[in-house]
Structures are given as structure tokens and as C-alpha cells.
Chain A
Amino acid sequence: MSDRRASSARAITWAARRALPSLLSVALALTVCFVAIGISRADFSVAAEAFQQMTWGGLGDFPGFFRDRSWALLTRPWGESTTKAALLVFTGLSVSVAFCVGLFNIGAQGQMTLGAITAAVLGAYLPLPRGIHPFACVIGAAVAGSAYALLPTFLKLWRGVHEVISTIMLNWIAVSLVENWLVVGPLRASASGDLSRSGTQEILSSAELPRLLGGLSRLNAGFPLAVAAVLVVWLWLSRSGNGFEVRAVGLGSEAARTAGIAVHRRTYQAMAIAGALAGVAGGVWVLGTEHKFPATLGSPYGFDGIAIALIGQNHPLGVGAAALFFGILRAGGTRMQLLGVHKSFPELIQGLALLFVAGKMIWERLLIRSQRRAMPSAEAPRA
């Protein structure tokens, strides 16, 4: 009985210790950005108000709700936060699954682009009944992303081409071919003559991801799907034999090989899943919010995925938490525009947080030092 309590206490301290560098980094990034607004406006009350707007814009406008009793003041921000968080969950998980098998998937951007264009095409041109259509599109997006992630994996295992360089190249190949050829060329919607419209043909209404709160919010089925993905990836990596093998390959492929693990097969499998997750991000983006492939992807979601994966300390649940946090921040960021603060501000917070997480060793050194000071000689220093 007490044994179990001790082990669960240990699990909690383990989780806290693992999360601490990220939490401190995010806190530091928020502080730096607060000061940045304050200095650039020479007025810290603007910064305070901007942060307040960001909170209400992300979590729901509670003061307005208690004043007017209008649910839309809460559900609209929720819709914005969750749609943004869902994309960050998928790209973050994509990068993090690749990390688990020891590869750096910088290619989430390209995989997402291919997933998005596939979903846009299947959604617009494939006549299917309402119940099946979104599934077919999401699966198509996953397959496209998956295939595009298997290419650099193949080049790595076959020819030793480093995946960081090859996925950077593949990102730009995907962007060039999709945004500068397909979307402005063969798949362009404006065949009907309206030249002002950009992007591909709108998807059929049967392919749209259902809105869960109807007209009250843009909250769509992509968010529950993202939550499910977090749980499935977490269970797969931490509770299944297959996931264990994947992590073993990531921690040391030679050791894994001697233990009889099929290293190449696990690598292909993990990268296929990573690509599928990034592809689904594209699919959810098209089917849930845009309803077509607009002129461009617009935002470096794939690179955001790297930030989310690392701020989430590469743990599926951490990725979920980080994605939700930054989704809320981004949704709130649009409200900051009211005060003349650019909506990309949350991205600055995210970038700085990643920079501070990159200096993880600094945090660890500081934490260890403060711990030593707190309880001297509690534990003999390890050699």
C-alpha cells in the first residue's frame, strides 16, 4: 500500500522534474515578451492589457460572459484555440514520434502540405456520402504525408543521406510544386472566371469536418481527433511492445539490433506514422477550417511542430499540453491586434521558449545547484 504510494509519488516527481525546464522556459519567454511590449510602447500598462486580451481571447471572454450572459463570447475563443491547438498537436506529435526513433523530422511542413492538398482534392472531387467522406479525406491525407516521410527515411537507410538536409529540401520541393504549380495551375478553382479567388476548388459540404457546437463556434471534430491521437501515440509508445522497440531503436540502434529488433522496419514504421500525423494536420486544416487549399499554407506549422515537440519534452502528453497552451496563446494573439500588437506575437513567445528549451542543460545545472543547496549531502554525487 505505502509502496504503491511511494512509487506514484516518485512518478509525480519524475514528471515534474522533466517538465520543469519547459515550464521555466515558457515563463521566461512570456516575461521577455511582456517586457518587449512594455519597452516598445514605453508603457507597461499596454503590455498588461495585451496579455489580458490574449488570455480572454484564448480561454474565452469571461468578463464579457458574466456581463452579457452570451455563450458565444466563450465558445468562439474556444473554437479558435482548439482548431489551432489541433494542428500543433498533429505536427508536434509528428516531430516527436520521429525523435523517438532517432530521426529529426524537419519535413513536417512538406508532409503537411501534401496532406492538405490531397484532402482538398479528395474533398472537392470525390463524391462520397456524408458519413464516410471526411474519413476518406483524412486517410488520404495521412497516406500522402506518410509517403512523403518514407522518402527521406529510404534515402537515409539506403544511401546514408542525412534526414535534416533531405527533409529541408523535400519541404521546399513540396511547397514549390503545390503552391507554385498545382494551386495556381491545374487545380486552380477560378476556371469559372472569377480571377480574384485564389486557391483550389472548395470541398463538398459532405467532406467538411462537423462543427461540434454548430454555429456557436468553429470548434470542429479535428480537436477530439487530436486528443485521441495524443492518447493513442502515448499508449503505443509507452505500453506496447512495438512502441518499446521503436524507442529502443531511437536510444541506440546498434544495441537494438543486437537485441534482435528489426531496426530498419521499426524506423520505416515510425517515420510512416510521423508523416501520417503531419499529413493529418494538413487534412484537418483543409477539412476543418479552410475548406480548400488557399494560396499558401501561410504559417510554418511544420516548424511550429518542432517547437511544440521539444517544449513538450518529446512526451506525447507533454506535446498535447504544449500544443494546447500555444493554441490558446495564438487564438488570443489575434485579440492583441486590437492594441496594435501583431498577431504573430505568440509565435515569438514560442520561438523564445524553444530557444530557452534548447539551453536545457543550463536549466538542469541551475536546478541541480539549487537542489544541492537545499539538501546538502542527501545523495552522493554520481561519478
Chain B
Amino acid sequence: MITLGDYLIVSGLLFTIGFAGVMLRRNIIIIFMCLELMLNAANLSLVAFSRFRVDAGLPNYNAQVFVFFIITVAAAEVAVGLAIIVALFRARQTTHVEDIASLKF
């Protein structure tokens, strides 16, 4: 029997994988992909809670509307973020975060 805890554990592991990617990788595009993984892990736990809070035989659809909004905002964020990465690449010819250290002191 699959319980709520199983979904939450899978979601937490996915979040951890994304987090580890942000910590370990130095390529800015891979870091961006790992951010998407973390967002999706949060979505999974939201949908799991929505299914868990059954009211009158229906899941709690507020959470699903919320996930819908998150997905749209994330897609808009990807478009702008990738445009920034391309602008950065044009200026510096690199996507490696350690090469971009002008603000470091």
C-alpha cells in the first residue's frame, strides 16, 4: 500500500538530488536544470497533499491550481533565465560559474 509518506520521501529525494546538483556542478545551465528539479519536487509533494486531503470524495483542488501556477511561473522563469545566460555567454564566452567572479572580493 502506498502511503503519503512514500510520496513525500520520493519528493524529498528528488529535492536533494536537485540540491546536490546545484552544489556540485559548475556549469550554469546544469545548475538551472537542477533548480527545475527542485521546483518539481515541491510540486510533487503539493499534489500528494492535495490527494491526501479528500473532502466529500474530491481531492483538494486548491493545491492543484497552485501547482498549475507554479508550472507557468517556472516556465516564464526559464525563458528569462536562459535569455540572461545567453547574454552572459555573449559578454564572457563562458558558462562556468567560477569564471564569473567580478563581484568577488
| Chains A and B are bound partners | no
Interfacial residues, chain A to chain B (CB-CB below 8 A):
none
